[in-house]
Amino acid sequence: MMTASIRLTGTLDNGAEVHRSYYLVADFGQHGGGKSSIIPLSMGAPMPDDDHLAVESGGEAAALKAAAEAIKALPGNQGLEARVVINPE
């Protein structure tokens, strides 16, 4: 199992400071395909339509990267600075 946290920070168009956190989990091996789960930790944080993201290859690392990219691309998260920590304690 591989986990990651992603924290987005920045200023919205209306001038408000924003801090959003997500927790990502992938548990299917280091090779091949599978799913990762996206868990929002901040109230009101934008979410993709599905909280699971499937990849066909690349294993857990690819699934976590795809989830982080999907989160950064969401309306409301675009342009925010992202900090990702793999296997946070």
Average pLDDT, the chain: 89
- Model pTM score: 0.87
Domain that holds residue 14: 2-82
Q: How far is CA 30 from CA 77, 83, 85, in A?
A: 29, 23, 18
- 24 in a domain, yes or no? yes
| 31 pLDDT above the threshold of 80 | no
- 49 in a domain, yes or no? yes
Residue 38 pLDDT class (50, 70, 90 cuts): very high
Domain count, the chain: 1
Q: How far is CA 39 from CA 7, 32, 49, in A?
A: 12, 23, 13
| 60 pLDDT above the threshold of 90 | no
- 89 in a domain, yes or no? no
- 7 in a domain, yes or no? yes
Mean pLDDT of 38-62: 90
